[in-house]
Amino acid sequence: MVLASFRWISPPVPYINLFIIIIIIMKINLLSCDAQRPDRRAISKCIAEFSSSSDEALSNELTDILLEGDAVVIEMKDKNSGSALRAFRKLDLDYEIIE
């Protein structure tokens, strides 16, 4: 006859899950729009989609400022930068990356 006993031994230090999330913010200076007939709605939607701190109303306002000829600075997450820059080029927006 074999008797076995089992007991749970808890670890001395509880497990700690530590996640470090690094979010890199990239600043883009939208300089001007060179399109003959700029699409306000598409530009506004693009700004709202890629900007990290913009809602629809603010993006409409920034689009109006941009199309009047003034530069606009937006912040976006670095993971979206490739798609955003491609979209800005497609809309004929001149931009520069601010370090």
Per-block mean pLDDT, blocks of 10 residues, the chain (99 long): 50 57 77 92 92 87 93 84 90 89
Q: Output the pLDDT for position 27.
A: 87
Half-sphere exposure of 23 (CA within 13 A, CB side): 7
Q: Output the pLDDT for position 18.
A: 56
- Which CATH number is 26-98 given? 3.30.1390
Which sequence spans correspond to the domains of the chain? 26-98
80 Cβ contact partners less than 8 Å away, ≥ 6 residues apart? 50
Q: Output the pLDDT for position 2.
A: 44
Q: Output the pLDDT for position 1.
A: 42
